[in-house]
Amino acid sequence: MAQDSNNLEQKFKYIINNLPEDKRNALFEKLRAMEPSERSNAVRKIVEAYDRNMAANPPRQVQRPVQRPVQQASAVRSDRRSGENRRPASNISQDDYRSTPAHKESRGRILAVIGILIVFCALCVGIKVFLGDKIEKFISTKTVNSTETAISASTSEVIPESVITTDPTEPEVTPVETLPTPTPIPLAADHPDLAGLVIVIDPGHQAEKSATSEKVADWLSKEKPGSTPGSVGAVTGIKEYELTLDISLKLKEYLEGCGATVILTREVNDVDITNQERALIAVNNNADIFIRIHADAANDGKSSGVRVFVPDSGAYKGSNISLGDILGNNVAEAIGLEFIGTKATDLYTGLNYANSVPSFQISLGLLSNSNDEAILVNEDNQIKICEAVSEFAAEFKQSDV
């Protein structure tokens, strides 16, 4: 097992060594953002794709043109000197034969061949002098195999489309830099103690719209798609589902650093998890707090601010609004946006089906507003959001809820 692991690592290092620097850095960025298990799977898939390509397209050997020695002319001359020139077996004399049409035709062919060979040799010398090493480079380029990587959608975000040079004999693997690891999220010196809390975080939306619909609530007839991609940044074009996952991953790490048990409803973008299923993850894990992370949009680019939504039904209907105000105020103050308020509603499936636990859906800002967007994509502000949520969780822990 250890040998397989070493072989996998050596092959991956060999592939990395042959990538252009910009492609290598892009790949490192993708791998750095992954969880360790996901990163290992991505590395294995890269190596497997490389092996498949090598098996399907074995490197070809360079076929050099064979130079034929020019010797016919000298051989003919030698034959003539020795008087051994071949001629038809007949009784004609040598002098008479030389005057025959057959002899003249044969002599003409020999001279033509000699002339062609002389011209060919002269052209080869001239081309070599004129082009120099360009011929060799061209031949070498044409005989090098390239690997067109074909990896599934889940790994197409990991490996860049590039040409990986293959060689009939792999060079000795030399040590290279280890894969960068994600930068740890710094904990505040006075971070709260959240030990004993179970917190479920739902990164809002997903890469593709769900193919199925679901009821908004058991008591309502209205149906909505199971999940959607969400909104898009006005300036950067960032997708809401990408931003919410990025912030949620940081939030998970930060809250775990404070001692809480944290569960994410999704850890990648390419999933299909309906809002009802996300709510049931919180319910089935007896969450102390269920927080749905969103970044919405408005019809105009001026609307701005942080808002919290809570279910208007369930066991915590009376206390959710006051707790939502604490969460919203903490986050808005941390990143410098206005807190619009907390609203109880039955519009959101993910809240309706989680009304048996304290549930909150926070809109961190509006991606349709360029200022809100700039704040939310900033990594320092994302860490401030983590700190603000941890303070909310600490206040929740001390409350009677």
Domain-wise residue ranges, the chain: 2-59+144-165, 72-141, 198-398
Tokens of residue 377, six digits: 């994509």
Q: What pLDDT is stored for residue 153 in this prediction? A: 38
Q: What pLDDT is stored for residue 97 in this prediction? A: 46
* C-alpha to C-alpha distance for 376 and 191, rounded to whole angstroms: 22
* C-alpha to C-alpha distance for 66 and 165, rounded to whole angstroms: 27
Q: What pLDDT is stored for residue 287 in this prediction? A: 98
Report the alpha-carbon angle 226-301-366, nearest 5: 45
Q: What pLDDT is stored for residue 116 in this prediction? A: 58
Residues in the chain: 401
* Amino acid sitting at position 260: A
Beta strands in 117-215 (DSSP E): 146-147, 164-165, 198-203, 213-215
SS3 114: helix
Those residues of the chain that have pLDDT short of 50 are 2, 62-94, 97, 113, 124-125, 127-171, 173-177, 179
Concatenated DSSP letters of 242-276:
HHHHHHHHHHHHHHHHTT-EEEES-SSSS----HH
Q: What pLDDT is stored for residue 248 in this prediction? A: 98
Q: What pLDDT is stored for residue 4 in this prediction? A: 61
Q: What pLDDT is stored for residue 71 in this prediction? A: 45
Report the alpha-carbon angle 37-262-321, nearest 5: 145
* C-alpha to C-alpha distance for 221 and 377, rounded to whole angstroms: 37
Name the DSSP class of 189.
T
pLDDT in tens, 127-177: 444 444 444 444 344 433 433 343 333 344 444 444 344 444 444 544 444
Q: What pLDDT is stored for residue 336 in this prediction? A: 98
Contacts of residue 224, defined as CB under 8 A and 6 or more positions apart, other chains included, come to 213, 214, 216, 275, 349
Report the alpha-carbon angle 267-273-276, nearest 5: 125
- CA distance between the termini of the chain: 50
pTM over 0.75: no
Nearest to 188, CA basis, from 398, 335, 383, 382 = 383
Contacts of residue 60, defined as CB under 8 A and 6 or more positions apart, other chains included, come to 143, 145
Q: What pLDDT is stored for residue 101 in this prediction? A: 57
Beta strands in 155-242 (DSSP E): 164-165, 198-203, 213-215, 223-225
What is the fold, at CATH topology level, of the domain defined by 198-398?
Aminopeptidase (3.40.630)
